[in-house]
Amino acid sequence: MNKKKGIHFEVSERKVLLRLLDVVFVLFGLYLLELFFNFDYLIVNRENNISILVLIIYITIFGTIFEIYDLQKSSKLDITFRNIVLTASTVVLFYLLTPFFTPFLPEKRLQIIYFYIAIIVMIFLWRLAYITFIASPRFYKNVLLVGEISNIESIIKPLNESDPNYRIVGFINCEKETESPIKFKGLKEFGPSELMSVISDYKVSEVLVASYDSETITSSIYHDLIVLLENGFTIREYTQVYEELTYRVPIQFVGKDFYKYFPFSRSNQNTLYLFFRRSFDIIFSFFGLIFGMLLIPFVIIGNAIANQGPLFYTQERVGKNGKPFNIIKLRSMIVNAETDGAKWAQENDVRITMFGNFLRRSRLDEVPQFINVLKGDMSIIGPRPERPFFVNELSRVIPFYETRHIIKPGLTGWAQVKTRYGSSVDDSLTKLQYDLYYIKHRSVFLDLNIIVKTLSTILYYRGQ
């Protein structure tokens, strides 16, 4: 077997590369401005360390908000350019508005235009190089799947959607041959005896084992996998890769060994972490309510014109440990929207009023929930609180659904920023996968990530 593998970059490596070279290219662009255009607003030297550091922080924060580090979007030039322009515009605006940490406005205002254009051009040039070379097929990570054919489609689809550079070249059915074998046309199938040759011919970097039951793996395949392992070849289990690439817990593949997949974050019992979370909840909710009070006059006018009915409404939701509580929201649907019983909100739902649609997409309808946060029923970050009717229904068909109630529900959360509002059992399953990932990995860093992504959701008007 040829041990030479194709060159590829892991997800974490590409994200670090994007962030690092964004900064390097911008600083190089400022150096070129100084060299050829007599630019002195921000000179790259030791005397301007603080100003340069602030610029780097702004690029990192606003680049995250405007999604220039999203790997799916970073592989598309048109979307990348739009997001770079939005990032650069916000970075320059904030940079000019913080003169205590940044240089004072230059006498020649044209230098600000140079500064702005340099950021756009240099980041775009680097992203053009990234799409041309790093995100090209030559750097794809070639993977061979070994699994049961009945699970193939549900396995490859989430991985292909999550990482454009993760390429499954084919699969080997690990089940024993039957008289009427099932065929899967969406991916090339190789015979068990071809495992070694496929790895060599296709420059496979990793073998992905995706089997519900290890007993189904034939002895010949098992022997070849052992040989590969002994030679230092990478063999990984599907649930591990699924969680790493999709940021979801694949509960539909867990089975009886569920306890192996739910070693929930120590932060769930960390007193210091919980104290800071509660302090953050109180402080953030206090300012959130002040912001809401300032908007109330405009909301009242909009409600009177295009909503016509009560301004607020309350509804029972399921909280921590399954304890019910009443949530407070700005009404976005018509009065008596559920006279025929509880229904999921659908896309373009006719029950949502014109002004209610604006409230939902801007997330303003959720501002009164800060009261629930102050009362301790909710947190700023956590799984979305669901209604008892839907909890009962979903608990019957989705395994581990009740597990999401081991922490407080949240105003925003990992599922809310990673996927759209669920309107079916399948959508609820996807949301639960994200919720369990958050419960399993929650930390200060992940909380900050959610807050930043929530800003992206609001700015891109993605609420529903």
Reported residue count of the chain is 464
CA-based nearest residue to 206, from 159, 246, 166, 161: 166
Fill in the DSSP letter of residue 231: T
- pLDDT band, very low/low/confident/very high, at 461 (cuts 50, 70, 90): low
Q: CA-CA distances (angstroms) from residue 116 to 59, 70, 128, 380?
A: 12, 22, 18, 35
Q: Does pLDDT of 340 surpass 80?
A: no
CA-based nearest residue to 337, from 350, 348, 326: 350
Q: Is 244 exposed, middle or buried (0-12, 13-18, 19+ CB in 10 A)?
A: middle
Assess whether 278 and 227 both reside in one domain.
no
CA–CA separation, 407 and 270 (whole Å): 13
Assess whether 129 and 157 both reside in one domain.
no
Assess whether 105 and 194 both reside in one domain.
no
CA–CA separation, 383 and 406 (whole Å): 10
Residue 185's pLDDT is 65
* Residue at 25 is within a domain: yes
| 3-state per-residue secondary structure call for 152-204 | HHHHHHHHHHHCCCEEEEEEEECCCCCCCCCCCCCCCEECHHHHHHHHHHCCC
Q: Which domain holds residue 67?
A: 11-134
Residue 91's pLDDT is 94
Assess whether 401 and 288 both reside in one domain.
yes
Assess whether 165 and 58 both reside in one domain.
no
* Residue at 251 is within a domain: no
Q: Are strands 189-190 and 206-210 parallel, antiparallel or unpaired?
A: unpaired
Whether 212 contacts 194, CB under 8 Å: no
Whether 1 contacts 199, CB under 8 Å: yes
Assess whether 307 and 374 both reside in one domain.
yes
Considering 119, 134, 149, which residue would you say is the last residue of a domain? 134
In single-letter form, the type of residue at position 24 comes to V
Instruction: Choose between 130 and 3: higher pLDDT.
Output: 130
Phi/psi at 409 (nearest 5 deg)?
Answer: -70, 165
Q: Does pLDDT of 349 surpass 90?
A: no
Whether 452 contacts 61, CB under 8 Å: yes
pLDDT tens digits along 193-251: 888 999 988 889 899 988 766 666 778 888 888 999 888 888 988 888 888 888 888 87
* Residue at 30 is within a domain: yes
Residues 6+ apart with CB under 8 A from 325: 316, 317, 319, 372, 377, 378, 385
CA atoms within 13 A on the CB side of 171: 24
Residue 180's pLDDT is 46
How many Cβ atoms are within 10 Å of 14's Cβ, its own excluded? 21
* Residue at 261 is within a domain: no
Assess whether 356 and 217 both reside in one domain.
no
pLDDT tens digits along 29-85: 999 999 988 888 898 888 899 999 999 999 999 999 888 998 888 888 889 999 999
* Residue at 3 is within a domain: no
Assess whether 449 and 312 both reside in one domain.
yes
Assess whether 413 and 304 both reside in one domain.
yes
User: How many structural domains are present in the chain?
Assistant: 3
- pLDDT band, very low/low/confident/very high, at 125 (cuts 50, 70, 90): very high
Q: Cα angle vertex 202, ends 200, 204, to 5°?
A: 75
* Residue at 343 is within a domain: yes
Assess whether 331 and 431 both reside in one domain.
yes
Whether 369 contacts 312, CB under 8 Å: no
Considering 99, 134, 169, which residue would you say is the last residue of a domain? 134
Average pLDDT over residues 255-273: 71
pTM above 0.85, yes or no: no
- pLDDT band, very low/low/confident/very high, at 258 (cuts 50, 70, 90): low
Assess whether 66 and 36 both reside in one domain.
yes
* Residue at 433 is within a domain: yes
Considering 116, 134, 152, which residue would you say is the last residue of a domain? 134
Domain with 203 in it: what CATH number?
3.40.50.10700
Assess whether 209 and 320 both reside in one domain.
no
CA–CA separation, 53 and 46 (whole Å): 11
CA–CA separation, 167 and 158 (whole Å): 12
State the distance between the two ends of the chain, measured CA to CA, in whole angstroms. 53
Phi/psi at 23 (nearest 5 deg)?
Answer: -65, -45
Radius of gyration of the chain (CA): 26
* Residue at 1 is within a domain: no
